[in-house]
Chain A
Amino acid sequence: MARELWKGNDAFAEAAVRAGLQAYFGYPITPQTEALEYMSSRMPELGRVFLQAESELGAINMVYGAACAGARVMTSTSSPGTSLMMEGLSYIAATEIPIVLVDVVRGGPGLGNIAPSQGDYNQIVHGGGHGDYHPIVLAPASVQESVDIVYGMFDLVEKYNAIGIVMTDGSIGQMMEPAEMPPMLETRMDFPDWAVTGGSGEDKTVLTSIYLQPEDMEKTNYRLMRRWQEIERNEVRFKEYFMDDAEIAIIGYGSAGRVALSAVRAARAEGKKVGLLRPVSLSPFPKAVIYDVAKQVDHILVVEMNSGMMLNDVILATREQANIEFYGRMGGIMPFPDEIYREIDRIYKNNPSSDVHPRDLWLDRMESIVA
C-alpha cells in the first residue's frame, strides 16, 4: 500500500481498525477527539461496535465489559481522561484481561491546556491506578510509528493478558505526515476460552478483581509480577542514532526524542560526538541498554516534555556510571532543536560534574527561560 498523508489521530484509529478491532468506546477530549470521530463513522461502516460513552469512567468500564466478553477492544483519550480511567485500568489489570488505550497527552496538571506534553509519564508508566500492576507502555515519535505500534499492540496485550497503553502527544495526534497503512486483518470469529460468553454450571466463568483473602490476592500479585518479568525480558524496544562513538548521549522518547534528533544532527555536523537513545517501550523500561550507554559515554542528557519524570528511571538505570543532565519543557511547550543544541554545547564546553540533582540544576537554568 502506498504512503498517504494521514493526521495522527485518524491514522492510529485506522491502524486499530486494520488490526481487527471489534469495539471502540470513547469520550471527546482535545487533542484526541479526531480518533473518536473517525471511529464513529468507520466502525459502523464495517459492522463493528462504536459507542460514545457518558464519560471516561463510562468508556473504560465499557472497554472492561467488552474485553471480559472476549472482544478486541480499545479506547483513546487525553490526560484528564486518562486520570479518570485509572480506576478502570487497575480493575482491568487485576482481572488479567487485554485492552488497549491510546493517550494523546496534553499539558497539565489540572485542566491545563491542549498542547503537546509528556506529563502523563508517571501516571501511566508507574501505574496511576491503585495496587501492584504494570501496563505495557509504548511511545511513538511519528504518525507512522503510531500506526505500527497501535497495529501491533493488540497481539502484544493478548499474548500477556495485559494492558497496553500507547503514549503519544498532542503534536503527533494533530500533525499530518505520510504514513503507510498495514493490511486489513479479519476480525476474529472465536472468543478466548477465558471470556464470559454465557455458560453455566461447569462451564461457568467469573471474571473479577476481588480477592478478599490476602493470600489469594498475593498469589495474583505474584502471577502478575512473574508475567511482568517475562514482559521485561521479551518486549524492551528502543532506537539508537549515532551512538557508536558517542561521548554524550541524549535520552528522550516520543516527540522530545524526535526534536532531540535534529539537535544531535546539528551537533554531529560540527563534529561533536553526540548520539540519541530513544526508548520506545517506556514500560518495560530499557534499563540494560541505558546502563550500557552510561558506561560508554561521559554525559547523559535526558530530554522530556515534563519536569523529568523518566529522568528518575534513567538515574536508577545508570547506577552512577555517567554524569546526568536534564532539559525539559513543561505545560504543553515543545522544546526547539536549538534549545537542546545549546544544552549539548554547554555540556561539551563545560564537561559538568555535580552532586546536585540534575532537576535542581535544570530548574535554575529554566529561571531565565520561564521568566
Chain B
Amino acid sequence: MATLDIKDMEVVYEHPVSLVDDNTHYCPGCTHGVAHRLVAEVIDEMGIIDKTIGVASVGCSVFAYNYFDFDFVEAPHGRAPAMATGVKRVRPDRFVFTYQGDGDMLSIGAGEIVAAAGRGEKITVIFLNNANFGMTGGQMAPTTLPGMKTTSSPHGRDVEQAGFPIRACELLATEEGASYIVRRSLHDAKNIRKAKKAIRLAFETQARGLGFSMVELLSTCPTNWHMTPIESSIWLEKNMVAYYPLGDYKVHQTIQDLKV
C-alpha cells in the first residue's frame, strides 16, 4: 500500500495569519467564527495586517480583539463608527474597520452609523445581522422579524406595538457618502464565498479612499433561536433572506470595474 507523504502535498488551506489560533467563546453553530475568518483571510490576502486597526463593539463580538491578531480598540455600545472616525482621521493611512452586530449598530448606534455613512467616512463596517440581541440572551432587536419570538417579544414581534424591522443596506445606500453597501449571507458555502468577496471589495473601497463601505452579513444565532445549527441555516435562508434581500445596494463605479 502506498504511503501518503505530506511533504509532497500542496497546502491549499491554512489558518489565517490575522486570526489567533485559539478557541472562541462563540456558541456552536454561530456564524461569528465564519465572519472572523473571512475578514482575516481578506486582511492576509491584501497584506495589510500591520496597517489595520479594528474597532470592536458591544455584543457577542465584544472580544473580537482576542481572535484577530492585530491592533484593536473596543468601543462603547453603538459608538464604534464614531470611534473609528477618530482613529481614521488621525491615521488616514491605516485601514480602520468596525465589527458590529444588529443591536449595536441599528438600535443604540443608529445615529453614529447614519452619520458616519453620510460623511463618507473612509472606514469599513462589518455588520452581522442575526435578528436579536445575542449577548444579553436573545432579546428583540430592530432587525427581529415580524412575528419572531424573542425573550422580550415572547408572543412574537407585534409590529403594531414594536414596529417594523429596519433594513440597514436600503437605509444607508441612500447616502451620498456611502460607496459600497451590500448584503450577503453566511448560511451556506456558496454564500460564504460571496461574502468573502464582498468583504474584500469593502476593504478595496477603503484602500482607494472612496468613502464609506459596509457589508451586512445575515447570520445565525442557534442558541437564542432555539434551533440546531443546520435548522438555523435553513431558517435564515427561508425567513431572513425573504425580509432582507441579498444583493448590491450601492457599489461605486471604480469598485464595479475592479477585478479581484
Interface residues of A (CB under 8 A from B): 22-23, 25, 49, 51, 53-55, 57-59, 61-71, 73, 87-88, 91, 196-201, 203-210
Nearest-Cβ distance from residue A67 to partner chain B, whole angstroms: 7
Nearest-Cβ distance from residue A87 to partner chain B, whole angstroms: 6
Partner of A208, one of B65, B70, B94: B65
Partner of A205, one of B18, B71, B88: B71
Nearest-Cβ distance from residue A127 to partner chain B, whole angstroms: 16
> Quick check: is B75 within 8 A (CB to CB) of the other chain?
yes
Nearest-Cβ distance from residue B1 to partner chain A, whole angstroms: 42
Cα separation A87 to B78 with both chains bound (whole Å) = 12
Known: A68-B86, A198-B52, A198-B71. 17 other contacts (CB 8 A): A51-B85, A54-B111, A54-B115, A58-B85, A61-B76, A61-B79, A65-B75, A66-B87, A68-B87, A73-B86, A91-B76, A199-B50, A200-B50, A201-B70, A204-B70, A206-B72, A209-B76
Nearest-Cβ distance from residue A229 to partner chain B, whole angstroms: 27
With both beta carbons as reference points, the residue of chain A lying nearest to B87 in the complex is identified as A65
> Quick check: is B89 within 8 A (CB to CB) of the other chain?
yes
Residues of B within 8 A of A91 (CB): 76
Residues of A within 8 A of B175 (CB): none
A58→B82 contact, CB < 8 A: yes
Chain A: interface secondary structure?
mixed
Cα separation A64 to B71 with both chains bound (whole Å) = 15
Cα separation A15 to B242 with both chains bound (whole Å) = 57
Partner of A198, one of B50, B84, B115: B50
Nearest-Cβ distance from residue B86 to partner chain A, whole angstroms: 3
> Quick check: is B4 within 8 A (CB to CB) of the other chain?
no
Partner of B86, one of A54, A57, A67, A201: A67
B69→A204 contact, CB < 8 A: yes
Interface residues of B (CB under 8 A from A): 17-18, 49-53, 55-56, 62-63, 65, 69-76, 79, 82-91, 94-95, 111-112, 114-115
Cα separation A161 to B116 with both chains bound (whole Å) = 28
B90→A197 contact, CB < 8 A: no
Cα separation A200 to B62 with both chains bound (whole Å) = 19
A200→B82 contact, CB < 8 A: no
Cα separation A99 to B49 with both chains bound (whole Å) = 28
Residues of B within 8 A of A67 (CB): 86
With both beta carbons as reference points, the residue of chain B lying nearest to A64 in the complex is identified as B83
Residues of A within 8 A of B73 (CB): 64-65, 68, 196, 206-208
Cα separation A125 to B70 with both chains bound (whole Å) = 36
B71→A65 contact, CB < 8 A: no
With both beta carbons as reference points, the residue of chain B lying nearest to A97 in the complex is identified as B73
With both beta carbons as reference points, the residue of chain A lying nearest to B71 in the complex is identified as A196
Partner of B85, one of A65, A71, A206: A65
Say yes or no: A71-B83 contact (C-beta < 8 A), given A58-B112, A91-B76: no
Pick the 4 closest A-B CB pairs, nearest first. A65-B86, A54-B115, A61-B82, A62-B86
